[in-house]
Structure 1
Amino acid sequence: MDAQKYGLIKTIGVSNFLPEHLDNIIEATDVTPATNQIERHPYFNNKELIAENDKRGIVSEAWSPYAREINDALTDPTIKEIAEKIRS
């Protein structure tokens, strides 16, 4: 957090912070992270955590465990339909 105060960095991001973690870091440092990188994909929308991030003015950045979901995603009819529309 000192690096931000000294102008060495512009923003601070976190990864996989739950609401209680966010509250702890904000309270301890008086700095609200700009982003929270969280798991989100068609099989796990994580809406509750996104709402908590939004309440604090934190941008949610999505990531997905590629290897775990890829087989289902490649054969999911809805995802295939969307992919075809985007590719066209």
Structure 2
Amino acid sequence: MQYKAEIHVTLKRTVNDPQGLAIRGGLHSLGYETVETVRAGKFIEVWLEAESSEEAQRLADEMSDQLLANPVIEDYTIAVADAATS
């Protein structure tokens, strides 16, 4: 069965986020003074074949640990859905 894994990768809270700071500064320049914090990251969409959603989740987790994220400085979340309904 085909699944879609949506992987969001962000820097850990303890890691400085210069891109987020630059975005925050830009938003303040545009008049959005109420913005307190911005964290930037990346979004990765992976379509894969798996026997079950649990296997698709496990595979996406392995991919994230091995290549898509740097576990030393980044956190990630994964959402898996049946590709037919996505």
How would you bin the TM-score normalised by the shorter chain? 0.3 to 0.5
More helix by share: 1
